Each structure stands twice: as structure tokens, then as C-alpha cells.
Structure 1
Amino acid sequence: MSDPRAFLSFDADNNQHEKTLFAGQCHSSSPTPFTVQDWSSKEPLPQAQWEELIKQKINTTNMLIVLVGRSMGSATGVHKEIAMAASQNVPIFGVYVNGAGPHSTLPPGLQRNRTMTWNWNDIGAAVKQMMTEGKNG
């Protein structure tokens, strides 16, 4: 069986570094290895075209992982990606990055009880849980 596939949602203006680290560590550091591919748009696209592209990519994954940074309130792309995942029954969980924590603002649609610190044992357990809940599991 292949590794679970995750779509990483993150604030591209503020958390690019954390996304790179997280994606690089997910396969070797998590007790439940999973795959993250870079599905970011490589070029600016009209909004409707971007939304269709991202919706298709989310639909091919087992889960959406939101990297929750300190500037989540202004990350409108993240808000849209969460809504897209929810509309397609793709399970969602969050990981605090870059100094964010339990009192940080969460994007709409991300539940606090499904958001955790960057701890690979907890993330691995969440990946296992998402695989039992997800439509693509």
C-alpha cells in the first residue's frame, strides 16, 4: 500500500520555510509516514482557474493538513482550501508553526481540537485517524 497523501495548506506569504521543513520531514520523522507533494501553483492564475486546480488536487489526497502560523487571519487561500476539502469530505487537521499555539487565530473550518503542536508522534496519530475517516482511505 502506498503512503497516505496529504495536501499542505499554509500561508505562502509567511510560512514558506515551515512548509518546506514539514514536507521534508513528514516521511522520515512521522511514525506513520505520509507523502506531501508540492501542488502550489507555479504561476499566477486567474482566481477561478486557481480554485478549480486546487479543488482537483485536494480531491486526489487523503487529507488536508493546515500549517497554522501567526498570520492565519489574512491567509484567504488557506480559508478557501479548507472549504474545498470540507466540501469534498477530505479530513482536515492543523499543526501550529512559527510560534503559533493554542491561543492563535484559526482559519474558519479548522477545529481547535484537531490542531496540534509540531510533534511527530501526534501528527502520525492524526494521519492514522484521517485515514480511517477519509473518503480516499
Structure 2
Amino acid sequence: MTEKKRAFISFDYDNDAGAKLMLAGQAKKPDSPFDFKDNSVKDHLTGDWEEKVRRRMDNVDVVIVLCGTNTHTAKGVAAELRIAKDKKKSHFLLAAYSDKPCTKPTSASSADKVYNWTWPNLKRLIAGAR
């Protein structure tokens, strides 16, 4: 069996915590290609917050950015995506909801596509299909 990828989940703590719990729960499926390793921190952008995130990302293979309806206003998610890009971490943006418009963090580029969240699609994205 292939070794599971270690994933950092970036999300808007104030608005999308439920979606993050569902995503972390999928890591427990027997056929999951990833383990939930770490996630966004609730702390505001003060002190060594960004350094803590940098250290956490040292131990992951992929960064999953959950995009909800207010992600464009989530400064922490924008910083986490910027850190992932600085560290050249594999990453992708995942729509947290199928029935609501989902926005990108401000640090996303036009090349950062928001993918639909389905189990088969998530498995392909973790494997690098993007």
C-alpha cells in the first residue's frame, strides 16, 4: 500500500470549522490517501504566529486550503497559503460547500483553481492531479 500523504488543512476558523471537521474525518476512511497532520491556528497574526505555521508545514506533504464563503476575508488563510507557496509545498484549493459560492484567499493566484469536493476528486488531488 502507498504511504499516506501528511496534510495541513488551512481554513477560516470562524466560518468553516465544521467543513474542516468533515475533511479531517475523511482522513480516517480505510482508503484515504492522506492523514490529517495539522491545521490552521486560531491565534491572531501576532508574535511568532507565522513562524509556528512555517514549522508545522515542515512536517507535511500537502496543504489543503478549504475555501468557504468568506475565505477572501480570512487573513490567516491568506498567510498560510503564502507560507505554503514560499515553502514550495504542494497545495490545492477545495470548495468547502457545493451549495454556496466559495471564495479564494487573497494570496491565491489566477492559477489556483478551486476544486469541487468529492471523495474521488479529493483522492486525485492528493495524488497530485491538478
Indicate the TM-score class for this superposition, using the shorter chain for normalisation. 0.7 to 0.9
What RMSD, in angstroms, separates the aligned Cα atoms of the two structures? 2.5
1:3 maps to a residue whose letter is K
Q: TM-score w.r.t. structure 2 length?
A: 0.83
Alignment correspondent of 2:18: 17
Q: 1:11-40 CA deviation, whole Å, 9 max, x = no partner?
A: 0010001101110113317x5520113444
Contact 2:95-2:115 at 8 Å conserved across structures:
yes
Distance in 1 (alpha carbons) for counterparts of 2:110 and 2:62: 14
Taking a change above 3 Å as real, the CA distance of residues 91 and 110 of structure 1, as seen in their structure-2 partners, is farther
Distance in 1 (alpha carbons) for counterparts of 2:32 and 2:111: 22
Unaligned runs of 5+ in 1: none
Distance in 2 (alpha carbons) for counterparts of 1:27 and 1:112: 30
Matches within 5 A, 1:61-100: 61-98=60-97, 99-100=99-100
Q: TM-score w.r.t. structure 1 length?
A: 0.79
Aligned residues: 127
Unaligned runs of 5+ in 2: none
Higher strand fraction: Structure 1 or Structure 2? 2
Contact 1:93-1:110 at 8 Å conserved across structures:
no
Identity of aligned residues (%): 27
